[in-house]
Amino acid sequence: MTRLAVRHRVVGLLFLMNLVNYVDRICLSVAAPVMIASLGWDKATFGVAFSATLAGYAFGQLPAGVIITRTGGRVALAVLSLCWSLMTILTPVAAASRWLFFVVRILLGIFEAGNSPGQATFNAQWLPAREYARGQAISFAGTQAGQLLAFPLVSWLLVRFTWPAVFYVLGVLGLVWTIGWLAATTDRPEDHPRISAEELALIRRERLGRPPAPRIPWGLLLRSPSARALVLAALLWGYTGWLIIAWFPTYLVNTRGVTMTDLGWLGMIPTALGMIGMLCGAAMSDWLLARGFSTAVARKTIPACTMAAGAILILVALRAGTVGGAVASLSAHALLSGLAVAGFFALPPVLLPRAPGIMAACMSAAFGVGGIIGPSVAGFLVEASGQWTLPFVTACGSSLIAAALLAGAVRMEPIAGTDGIELDEESSPFRAAAGHRGANV
């Protein structure tokens, strides 16, 4: 039996980090009906609690990115995981006061914000260029697996125990991950006691991550057309993604007449296909890179095309004559969006090789801001118009603009002045990946 490479164990732990992260975040949604009845709170209160977590997550990205970039990330991720696990455990206690409850949920989101810059930083240090998209996609797939696991796990805990037990059990899972992470990882491959000479040589030859910059190049980042376009694309894509996530179940029930019983399994289909899309898109992106295709094709052209195609399927869902047609179209949208994730979130070390966590944090923060705006705008448009056409049309248009920005305004080179080594065609680690495509990975 072949021993699992150390770098692949690191990616596996990042997958589990995202899984626990998302179960902790989504468990409130699943437990809400029981908690509303138990606490006597209204739906508006829980709506604020949902938004509070997402707002904390969005605005915690940049501080988390700075800390992880400056420290290397291993201890920072452990501390953040410890803190979000404690916030999960404290949620039932905080329910004694609505304001305290909101504060705990905001803090939960802030502490969970380390996942995206953390995985971008670690994957850039631990993976050769030809594996980076797959590493990012497998890490991100934990978010989808967390969504899939949250519903049956939390429902089972609610049936067998009281609702506070949900938060206690999930908080302990986060603590277990923290211990495992500290025991099995180091900041750099060179420091790991169990890495082989062959694996270390492969990582060093094609590694995307560079030594951290002595300072964060905020001015250069803000002035970069590529960085601004990428962040704006993330915001617009986040608008679409969170709008669909937040309102897809309600749309099926109110407009398509789906029962709550059927909604349970119908709602899992897009999530499952999104996870499949992430993994397949990553394999395709890395395969293209290893076969000598340019980074532009592998990392942005394919994602831009699948992003745009997925946007059109939102309109197809609106026009579908049956429930099955609507679900199939929105599920295909999730699949195509998943295909785009790998290349899109493989761009941070291309634009900012000495601080990929900062670029990833900017993108994730923008994605989160889009998530704050999208569901709220959709709710207003439905109330004002009495139909779902306008929200879905804005979602389609937002993704189409994001795809155009990604394809046309993001250049595949480091932001000027942020890297001491020019990434020309000969020195690029991406070129090295193509030159060593025969190596065993």
Segment 352-373, tens digit of pLDDT: 877 788 888 889 889 888 887 8
- Over residues 138-170, the pLDDT tens digits come to 888 888 888 888 878 887 888 888 889 989 999
Model confidence pLDDT, tens digit, residues 195-223: 888 888 888 887 766 666 556 677 778 88
More confident residue, 42 or 147: 147
User: Can you give the pLDDT at residue 419?
Assistant: 54
CA-based nearest residue to 344, from 311, 295, 393, 392 = 295
Residue of 225 and 155 predicted with greater confidence? 225
Domains of the chain by start residue, with CATH: 6-435 (1.20.1250.20)
So what's the pLDDT on residue 441? 29
Mean pLDDT (the chain, rounded):
82
Task: Write the CA distances from 432 to 124, 208, 295, integer angstroms.
Answer: 15, 11, 12
pLDDT at 264: 62
Best CA proximity match to 158, nearest among 337, 34, 22? 34
- Predicted structure pTM score: 0.75
Q: Quickly state the pLDDT bin for 97 (edges 50, 70, 90).
A: confident
pLDDT band at 44 (very low <50, low <70, confident <90, very high): low
| pLDDT of 174 | 92
**Mean pLDDT of the region 245-254:** 74
Q: Tens digit of pLDDT for each residue in 387-420?
A: 888 888 999 999 999 999 999 999 888 886 655 4
Contact by Cβ (8 Å): 360, 140: no
Task: Report which secondary-structure segment, H or E, holds 36.
Answer: helix 6-39
Contact 343, 285 (CB under 8 A): yes
